[in-house]
Chains A and B, each alone.
Chain A
């Protein structure tokens, strides 16, 4: 360690320097350590008359948070090499403990994690034992660049991939433990723990000649076929019990758990005269062990911490480390050690925060992981910087703002291509056209002809309404045949599909009738006023083998589609919660004739004909979004509803919570008596890895690198190239599906599920207790 680095690591010196830099920076204390490192790099470079390069490094600014940011290094001095990393290996157990600042860890934050990487030498001075262009592995933190003493660099031989070579330090740790165990042919060896070191130890114990090697863990979440193939016996303590381990009669036990209960367990089951090697790093004091048992069995306990071999200073340690590294490479090249089944995740450095949070949740399925540095842009991996170039503090600032909207980042190049690709997949063939008949020429029915015409693969063929004036007006306006009875449409051979836009209570029966006439059916929402009627309609459609779909066209708004694709790509992770709000000031006239007054009727205000108020009229769209966006199903709801300030039987206010099948919890608040509001509908979703806010300006934040967006900052949702209104998109997709002989995207089953949720809300509000959502047939 250089004197400058020693000074940097000294708490007292850090404090003095911190205070000085703090005043220089006007009190920005969080930036101080980065300025100190920035200054240190320049001091080192100046002392050796070297230039400076900047790479990207993983840093933990504080416990529990990670980010990737620029880090400067001097070009190599005498006996040093500069490595451009391609992969760095994560040791999950150790890094998780340090990330969470667990007991027995010594990290000072900001902390640069990692200790094993591999890449290519890009610069070397003097006469080091390696040359520019050589593939090497070394002990260095997770970063795209590493400055390492040449004597501590291991050449990667042909036949070993750079990704495997990145595990060299973990290999040294495991080989050191095997050496300490002094395994002899015929020994029955047991490895406690199935983390990365545990799985390496199993393979190495087999290679060392143990006659039988057992692998033991609490659960079988990390057991793979590869592990079963190597280990003679895989023991899961929860299932098999300790007795299974005792029957194995181990004479050597390698503890790679770091668990405080491992030593007492090992003492209990080991054969007299055996050896227990501690390869994992316990984070807690050992659970009470009986030293009498240790003595009576004449067991030897050996510590196998490989710290001195990882950055060896003395000649003896260097020799051992090089020997172990080369042995590790030979075993990998000879396929006696196979790392492929052990690597659970390959991580883009920008996703460091997501990755470490996942690790912090104690994901048992994670065995080992690698950061892949070659996925970065060339300039992010390495670029020359000057002495005057300031530190790269942008990621730190972004991380500080992660809890607030901050400045939205638009990336039109990415978003445009992203959406165009998605859109292209939805277009049908222009040569075929779906012929549609419209039942109901009131407010909703009269609003769709333009959207149908714009779809390109559908056209309106005929309209009908019991009100002859409405039918005639619309038919004449569009130049179409018109009728006053549904049968006029249903019995026409030149109509393929029916669009039902009548009052709610007529939907289900008319849809069923259309299906019985072998017409495909589109129903304005809701499908019915009750789940029972909705089921009848769907069963009729199934019996006639026609498509039945509900007009939930708002899901095709560009930002909703974009959000869905991002969520499908992992932007949210696992859903944790949602809020849904709909607010509107519905004027008195609406209840007597809708917004337009085209059809004078109070059916909207009456419970029997409408089936409900704000929930079934309006909020149903947002309930649809929840399932459409997340893929999760609502399984239980609890609601309160009231008619507070509207001349209606149906509710004008509803408040509710809902539970999703995965355990997430959401809330809903909808009202049509909110003075001064144009319709406002917002949904916010959050999950383990991010958040999507469908509140203008629509935006998202994710720890994952999805669709090319940089993780860890807010982005505006991409704007799709418009192919027309959301209703146009609906008709285009429905027509494309029918013409292709496929099920409609908004299927009868989806419509039923939504109907079941709506009914559960109303049932709960009436009963005054939570209600489980029915599973419709």
Chain B
């Protein structure tokens, strides 16, 4: 048994994100059905860290190399293979093989790109079934990083729709009230939702992308949902092992979009963190800005 580096979330006051602190932990040998992975890059959602504590399964996704395969592991996972999945916040994890997916061959993605795939898949899952008709005008609002990924996914999947991925303030400045057929709101601060709904037309549709955990909201349903007759649904955006769109078909499509840079996960509003340079990272500002955090554990290998 050897050691590994782990990130310990420290809760802030009032349920707000606190900070991430670098520490040491034991590295576990894989049991039957488990796989040990050396993580290259991971994606973190600060809001998810509020909802989960300690070393719970709290990354929004990672990309790494298979270091060791436990007895009876599936044949498609071999040592040295590039995998994506979800798991604890550490530079090395031992997880059930069912939490991992091998990247499609010839993906040619950076580790940071690949680490976002489980999270992107959860967004796709949330969007599935939400009716966006050709020609409809859709506004995507809310947390900047999630809003951006959502807008990019929608643009890729609904080419006939008019997708406006604006911040709330910007949408108000363009006097867009009541102009849009659909609103997709990446819920961060629930108080923003009240304003965002005013961008919807009468009889519009609203989809709320809800982060993990409790999201208590005192929404005045009268002016928006009731008076404007809005139809509202909410879906979780929470990276899960073996997502519904996972593996072959979904991951291939997401990998293709990432490769084509139609899904851009490297520019702002993503915040990068290298634990080698900084042992502790305050999360409140990152969360408030609606950013996602990419963690680089190891040197980036050649694109896979």
Contacts and interface: CB of A to CB of B under 8 A. Distances in A.
Contact of B222 (A283, A294, A299, A300): A283
Interface of A: 104, 180, 263, 278, 281-292, 294-296, 298-305, 307-308
Contacts of A290: 214-217
Contacts of A294: 208, 210, 233-234
B202 interface: yes
26 contacts: A104-B223, A278-B221, A278-B225, A281-B226, A285-B218, A288-B218, A289-B216, A290-B215, A290-B217, A291-B187, A291-B190, A291-B210, A291-B215, A292-B210, A292-B214, A292-B236, A295-B215, A296-B236, A298-B235, A300-B231, A300-B233, A301-B231, A302-B229, A303-B225, A303-B229, A308-B202
Nearest to A176: B229
Given A303-B228, A303-B231, A295 B210 contact: yes
Given A295-B236, A302-B231, A308-B202, A278 B226 contact: yes
Nearest to A279: B226
Nearest to B202: A308
Given A300-B231, A304-B226, A288 B220 contact: no
A103 B214 CA distance: 29
A285 B210 contact: no
Contacts of B228: 303, 305
B163 interface: no
B190 A282 contact: no
A176 to B, nearest CB: 9
B232 interface: yes
A282 B226 CA distance: 9
A301 B205 CA distance: 10
Given A180-B229, A290-B216, 6 more contacts: A282-B221, A282-B222, A282-B226, A298-B234, A301-B233, A305-B229
* Central interface residue in B219, B224, B226, B233, by most chain A CB within 10 Å: B226
Contacts of B217: 286, 288-291
Contacts of A303: 221, 224-232
A281 B214 CA distance: 26
B226 A287 contact: no
A263 B187 CA distance: 19
Interface residues of B, number: 30
Given A294-B210, A295-B208, A305-B226, A287 B231 contact: no
A285 B220 contact: yes
Contacts of A104: 220, 222-223
Contacts of B54: none
Contacts of A301: 221, 225, 231-233
Interface of B: 187, 190, 202, 208, 210, 212-236
Give the 5 A-B residue pairs with the shortest CB-CB distance, closest first: A295-B234, A303-B226, A285-B220, A295-B210, A291-B215
Given A104-B222, A278-B221, A292 B233 contact: no
A307 B218 contact: no
Contacts of B224: 303
Contacts of A304: 226, 229
Nearest to A296: B236
A403 B228 CA distance: 43
A367 B109 CA distance: 66
* Central interface residue in B213, B224, B229, B230, by most chain A CB within 10 Å: B229
Nearest to A300: B233
Contacts of B232: 300-303
A278 B225 CA distance: 8
Contacts of A285: 218-220
* Central interface residue in A282, A287, A296, by most chain B CB within 10 Å: A282
Given A295-B235, A298-B235, A263 B221 contact: yes
A303 B230 CA distance: 5
Contacts of B210: 291-292, 294-295
Contacts of B216: 288-291
B180 to A, nearest CB: 16
A299 B208 CA distance: 11
B24 to A, nearest CB: 33
Contacts of A283: 222
Contacts of A295: 208, 210, 215, 234-236
A512 B212 CA distance: 87
Contacts of B208: 291, 294-295
Contacts of A284: 220
* Central interface residue in B187, B223, B230, B234, by most chain A CB within 10 Å: B234
A294 B210 CA distance: 9
A307 B227 contact: yes
* Central interface residue in B213, B222, B224, B227, by most chain A CB within 10 Å: B222
Contact of A298 (B213, B225, B231, B233): B233
A750 B220 CA distance: 58
A282 B229 contact: no
A165 B223 CA distance: 29
Nearest to B217: A291
Contacts of A281: 222, 226-227
Contacts of B226: 278, 281-282, 303-305
